[in-house]
Structure 1
């Protein structure tokens, strides 16, 4: 017989979603959000109000292959029934891949040790049809080697103010990037950045700046000077949200070290 988890058990959800039709993660009045859909489904399933805390927020249009979030069970419930019931009630563009009980003091946001983001660029003359809301389309030729080279200065602990949204609410703009690289995947370029934490629009600003390099508007060597400027106006534009994917959030320091050597191989 399957075990029943008691009331008060903290549950960690491993969520994935297509962000195209969402106004981001966080609940907003009059907007369709991932948090709103997940909380509505859980509250209906458990017949109690449920509040969910995620590992972080995503902007409107951003996708996630793995976004962890936790909540506390408001009443006893079987684990398998909880998983099946939640997915039955979630909309088709959101999925709970798995769930598990965790320690009572576990926190999806504050215990996270690292995140891996991927920015997908479709680089071909023909515009996308089925991928149009999942990649950034750039039909012009790109200097791929220069784009890859420009990412090197980002690795390490730096002040990333040049890549932070002006309206970001943060105590410090210092962050650590453990790996940054550009991969070719068929007709797509995948710009991957792994780090212990990220600022608002940081990866999209990095992608937008790398695209300026790829289009020949900036030399690859400019990235170091842009980083040192600590001025958002020094960097390139913020790339569109549709190309950004949150690939993984880790709570394991060893996983962060693996990204340092080979980000995004898996």
Structure 2
């Protein structure tokens, strides 16, 4: 039988989602806990791999098992065996045709950026940080140029293993709450470091280093070395994965920022 799970995790102390020879990944911890409940080795398939330091509020995975367990065992039972920084939020038996990665139609990421002259302490590891003032209107003009289907080679990590650099970015919204700048990005899929590279380039526009039109030039040039450096992983959250209604996944709702951060707003 095939089981689907929804996870959340604080990625600050992990080397990323995917198992590494040296250990220390989110996948390692999840598979170890699932295997104890199933009483045999479990291997999982996920909707997307997050990098070292990246968080998730709605990560989806599936696994196959012959173990007959109540659904509650795959939630509360697994959580009892997981580190406190990882939690299963939902579990359900699903069809053998379901695939966490290939059945997904859209992914949503949030990037939280502290835009204050002084670096954050209480929110360390939970937000990115940029110390200079940012012009959000310029950034929004630039962001609009990224919407739609494009070759995102200029925003792709050199080690990206995707067969094609073409992605369809359906939403890129930038808002501010006090000192916190929130980027929301949705696409059919993302390239390795794509969100962090986009955020880095938009910050270059926001601080006045380049005009908004520079983003269109980057898209056309398809040269990663012409773009801004990859921005910090600390503020990045996998916030949702969308599936066809037939799979009966609960709708993902962006969590209140107060649940992600201990303090939001300007410091007087």
Q: TM-score, normalised by structure 2?
A: 0.89
Residues 77-99 of structure 1: per-residue CA shift (max 9 Å, x gap): 11113311001111011010111
Say whether residues 1:118 and 2:110 are aligned partners: yes
- Tell me, what secondary structure is at the counterpart of 1:225? helix
- Counterpart CA distance in 2 for 1:168 and 1:204 is 13
| CA deviation profile, 1:170-220 (whole Å, cap 9, x unmatched) | 211011001111011232101111010110100110000011111111111
Conserved 8 A contact 1:50-1:74: no
Deviation at 1:252? 3.1
Specify which of 174, 180, 203 is matched with residue 172 of structure 2.
Answer: 180
Contact 1:118 / 1:245 at 8 angstroms: preserved in 2? yes
CA contact (8 A) 1:183 1:191 kept: yes
C-alpha spacing 1:219/1:253, structure 2 compared with 1 (3 Å): farther
- Answer yes or no: is 1:241 the counterpart of 2:233: yes
5+ unaligned residues in a row in structure 2: which ranges? Answer: 247-252, 257-268
SS at match of 1:154: coil
Distance of 2:125 and 2:215 partners within structure 1? 28
What whole-Å deviation, never above 9, does each CA across 1:107-143 have from its counterpart, x for those lacking one? 0001000001111110112321121101111121111
Quote the residue 1:69 is aligned against: 61
Residue 37 of structure 2 contacts residue 73 of structure 2 at CA under 8 Å; is this kept in 1?
no
Please say if residues 3 and 94 of structure 2, whose CA atoms lie closer than 8 Å, have aligned partners that are also in contact. Answer: yes
What corresponds to 1:153 in structure 2? 145
After superposition, the Cα gap between the structure-2 partners of 1:253 and 1:186, relative to the gap in structure 1 and judged at 3 Å, is farther
In 1, Cα distance between the equivalents of 2:144 and 2:25?
Answer: 35
Structure 1 position 131 matched with structure 2 position 123: yes
Q: Does 1:55 align with 2:47?
A: yes
Correspondences of 1:1-266 after superposition (within 5 Å): 9-252=1-244
Q: Distance in 1 between matches of 2:171 and 2:193?
A: 18
TM (normalized to structure 1)? 0.90
Runs of 4+ in 1 over 4 A off after TM superposition: 263-266
Cα distance in 2, alignment partners of residues 265 and 65 from structure 1: 8
Give the conservation status (yes or no) of the 8 Å contact 2:13–2:53: yes
Q: Deviation per CA, 1:61-91, whole angstroms, max 9, x where unpaired?
A: 0010110000112311111133110011110
Aligned residue pairs, count: 250
